Amino acid sequence: MSVQKREVLPVKNSNDVVLARQKVRQLAVELRFSLVDQTKLVTAASELARNALDHGKGGSMTVEVIVNGARSGLKMVFEDQGPGIANIEDALKDGFTTGNGMGLGLGGSKRLVNDFSIETEVGKGTRITAVRWK
């Protein structure tokens, strides 16, 4: 797998969440994702950036245009140094929330992409990787 383009954006405030969404949309358009897939990517980016901000006390988003053989995709990595996720299984359940949201963030985001992984350590932070292939 090769990286064709990479950008790292801070996720420190609500405006950064908007900028993360805009960058993901821009790259999805460049890759000629369908409008439905663009919407899925932007929604996942928004949810995951908001989680990094609200639950992880801020962090960063790395977005990459990747190529693996004949297929290309968009890879998003959200990292924070927050409290971590105590129970990933619970966190992925619809309706589970530790905040004021609807509890659709992680589970919903996972369904919007093709590849999804969570690395977390309580007290150290969380790294979520999401990939949508074209």
Rounded to whole angstroms, the Cα distance separating 85 from 104 reads 15
pLDDT, tens digit, 9 for 90 and up, residues 52-78: 999 999 999 999 999 999 999 999 999
The amino acid that residue 72 corresponds to is S
Q: Which two tokens stand for residue 6?
A: 């990479």
Q: What average pLDDT does the chain have?
A: 92
Rounded to whole angstroms, the Cα distance separating 45 from 69 reads 25
Q: Which of 8-17, 37-46, 105-114 has the lowest mean pLDDT?
A: 105-114
Q: Report the DSSP beta bridge partners of residue 67.
A: 2, 72
| pLDDT beyond 70 at 98 | no
| pLDDT beyond 70 at 97 | no
Rounded to whole angstroms, the Cα distance separating 79 from 70 reads 29
pLDDT, tens digit, 9 for 90 and up, residues 2-40: 999 999 999 999 999 999 999 999 999 999 999 999 999
Using DSSP's 3-state secondary structure scheme, residue 47 falls into helix
User: Which DSSP string do the residues of 60-115 spell out, in sequence order?
Assistant: EEEEEEEEETTEEEEEEEEEE-SS--S-HHHHTSTT--SSSS-S-HHHHHHHHSSE
Using DSSP's 3-state secondary structure scheme, residue 114 falls into coil
| pLDDT (average), residues 79-107 | 78
CATH topology of domain 2-133: Heat Shock Protein 90 (3.30.565)
| Main-chain dihedrals φ then ψ at residue 88, nearest 5 degrees | -60, -40
Which pLDDT band, with edges at 50, 70 and 90, does 117 fall under? very high
